[in-house]
Amino acid sequence: MTDVPIRIASGNYDRVRAIMSGAVAIEGCAVDYLNLAPPETFRRLFEDQEFDVAEMSFSTYLLTRNRFEFPYTAVPVFLSRVFPHSSIYIRTDRGIENPTDLKGRRVGIPNYHFTRGLCARGMLSDEYGVANEDIHWRTGGIDTPGGLTYMRMQPPESIDVQSIPAGSTLGGMLADGEIDAIITYRDPEVFTDKRPNIGRLFPDFRKVEQAYFKKTGIFPIMHVVGIRDELLAEHPWIAANVVAAFEAAKARAMPHLTDLDALAVTLPWLVAEAEDTIALMGEDFWPYGIEKNRQTIAAQTRWSFEQGISPQQFQPEDIFVASSL
């Protein structure tokens, strides 16, 4: 049988490199693997449906279910996961000392439905009683004008969401004091440049995020893997083979995190950090599949519904390929 040609796009993560290099094969497939930054992958995926298999924003994928004609279905491979506490940046001269001080404030986001924002709002609501409606949301680009423009949606009328002026950036507005905070998927330049009066809401975010995991068991999922529906219909076996390959690639990567022979990452205490993580979260601290992630998936699908991104709270059966459940 001739291998099925497939084009895959994702970030350059340790957990996918064995597939990228060919050391791990996707059985029955001839792989063309593109290494792209997530915003580029998402734009080309959600706007142009360019890839056969691709990393995709979990929250945006939930948005597409029942709202857009989007010819992809996810498998439970979670290429990116991040706790949201580290992603909230504030003016430190506005009396914002704890999450409840965000009530009534103007907070910038690159778009309403991006996954980090979904999880930050869910965490703020669940843990601190800060409702989505308590904040005045402002959308736009973080460091350059524009923002994340794929899959535009109209937020619920009860929530104040407004675009910032064309040509402006949220980082610039934070530095100038025109907004009070930003939630974003990477450090804004005004933070990395150490501009005055800009810091994190949770300066010791590692401690806070560890406590959050201990309490809730939630390790937020940022990105899932999607497979083109036409490919799934023509080759029903392909979902299981894609999942198996990504599991094998992750399994090859994980031992390097605790290998003192030659550190896999340019971080002096990499092994100590990995050992602490295992002590807290278990050996399989970055699990794929449904069962080990059921609690996290339930939280994120609930938040998506509560925040008006999804028309209902989806169950795993609604959003993942049946053969991968």
Q: Is 44 helix (H, G, I), strand (E, B) or coil?
A: helix
**pLDDT tens, 189-219?**
999 999 999 999 999 999 999 999 999 999 9
pLDDT of residue 150: 86
Please check the confidence at residue 94 and state whether its pLDDT lies above 80: yes
Classify burial at 44, counting beta carbons within 10 Å of its beta carbon; exposed 0-12, middle 13-18, buried 19 or more. Answer: middle
Residues 152 and 179 sit within 8 Å (Cβ to Cβ): no
Q: Which pLDDT band, with edges at 50, 70 and 90, does 325 fall under?
A: confident
**pLDDT tens, 273-309?**
999 999 999 999 999 999 999 999 999 999 999 999 9
CATH superfamily of 84-216: Periplasmic binding protein-like II (3.40.190.10)
Task: Mention every residue, 6+ apart, whose C-beta is less than 8 A from residue 172.
Answer: 190
Domain boundaries, the chain: 4-82+220-324, 84-216
Higher-pLDDT residue of 69 and 101 is 101
**pLDDT tens, 172-186?**
999 999 999 999 999
Please check the confidence at residue 1 and state whether its pLDDT lies above 80: no
CATH topology of domain 4-82+220-324: D-Maltodextrin-Binding Protein; domain 2 (3.40.190)
For 208, list phi and psi in degrees, rounded to 5.
Answer: -65, -40
Rounded to whole angstroms, the Cα distance separating 115 from 82 reads: 10
Q: Matching CATH topology for 4-82+220-324 and 84-216? A: yes
Please check the confidence at residue 66 and state whether its pLDDT lies above 90: no
Rounded to whole angstroms, the Cα distance separating 243 from 316 reads: 16
Kindly report the number of other CB atoms within 10 A of residue 279's CB atom: 9
